[in-house]
Amino acid sequence: MGLGAWYEAKVMPKLITCACSQGQVMKRRAAVVPRARGDVFELGCGGGINHAFYDRTAITSYAGIDPHPALLDDARAAAQEKGWTADIRQASGEAIPFRDASFDHVVCTFTLCSVAEPARVLSELDRILRPGGAVLFCEHGAAPDIGVARWQRRIEPLWKRLAGGCHLTRPISAAFADAGFVVEKVGEGYTPQAPRFAGWMEWGVARKAG
C-alpha cells in the first residue's frame, strides 16, 4: 500500500470524524437532525455521528450510505447503540441504491463538500424523496465575504488532497435552489473558533418542489 492509499484508508477517515464532531459543529447538527421524521435517509452516514441527535420516537425507518468502508463499521455500531434496525450500505451519492419516493426526509450534513458531482447528487436526493419531503442540511462552503472567498480559492487545491476531496468554495443554499428545491434557511454564519476559510456554514430545510 502506497503512502497516499494508506493515508486515504487509515488516516483521513479518522481526521474527518474528529473534525466533524467538534463542539461547535455538533451544535449545528443539533439544530437540524432532530427535525427528521418518518422514513429517513442519511447521505454520508459514515462514522454515525448524527445518531445521537435523531428523535427515535419520530422515525419509522433509517437508511444511509457512505463511500468510505472504514467509516461504515462505526455507523452500524452507532445504529445498534441507538437500538434501531438500519439499512446502511457502501455507495456514492451519485447513484443512491434506493427506489424513487422512498423517504420522507433526507439528512445531509458536511457531505456535499466532498461529493464528485453535486448536481447529480442533488438530483438523486430529489428522486428518492416522496412528495412533500425535504432535505435537512447543514453544510460548510463558499463564504460571502470577498477576502475569505479569495483565501478559500487559494487553499482549496491542497485542502482537497488532505481532507478527502473536501471543497471550500461550493455554494450551499444556492445549490439546492438551483436543483429545484424550495430552501428555508434556519441559520448561517462563521463557526466560532474555526478558521474563517473553512468555517462558513449554512443550515436549513430544502423542500422537494411540487
Q: What is the CATH number of the domain that holds 53?
A: 3.40.50.150
Q: How many CB atoms lie within 10 A of CB 55?
A: 11
Q: How far are the Cα atoms of 67, 102, 105, 121, 208 from residue 205, in angstroms, in the given order?
A: 24, 18, 10, 16, 10
CA R_g for the chain: 16
User: Which pTM does this prediction carry?
Assistant: 0.91
Q: Identify any residues that bridge with 136 across adjacent strands, giving them in sequence order.
A: 107, 205
What's the domain count of the chain? 1
Length of the chain: 210
Q: Which domain holds residue 149?
A: 3-207
Q: What DSSP line would sit under 67-128, residue for residue?
A: S-HHHHHHHHHHHHHHT--EEEEE--TTS--S-TT-EEEEEEES-TTT-S-HHHHHHHHHHH
What's the CA gap between 96 and 100, in Å, rounded? Answer: 10
pLDDT string in tens for the chain (210-residue length) = 554 554 455 555 555 665 666 767 889 999 999 999 999 999 999 889 999 999 999 999 999 999 988 889 889 999 988 888 899 999 999 999 999 999 999 999 999 999 999 999 999 999 999 999 999 999 999 999 999 999 999 999 999 988 888 999 999 999 999 999 999 999 999 999 889 999 999 999 999 997
